[in-house]
Amino acid sequence: MRIGEAGYANAVAGIDQFDSVVLGLFAKQQYWSANGKVDEVVARILKPAQLKQARSMVNDPMIASAIDGDIALGRRGL
């Protein structure tokens, strides 16, 4: 999950595309949750330069750390 939808959501926040990507992922959730093609859905939302930037950021250790922190908070009920 971290490299999928959560990774993209965090990555695109840095390029001011959080709302459009999250709304698009939500709208197509049945599609990508069945086949894992999160990148394909995001590619339909972003412009090519934005997609390149998001793809380079999605595997950033800081993003993974932020997601892990969110998961930990959720498990503690916060």
Predicted confidence (pLDDT) per residue in 24-78, tens digit:
999 999 999 999 899 999 999 999 999 999 998 888 888 888 888 888 999 998 7
pLDDT of residue 14: 84
What value, to the nearest 5°, has the Cα angle with vertex 12 and ends 78 and 56? 115
pLDDT at 1 over 70: no
Q: Is 77 left (phi over 0), alpha (psi -120 to 50) or beta?
A: left
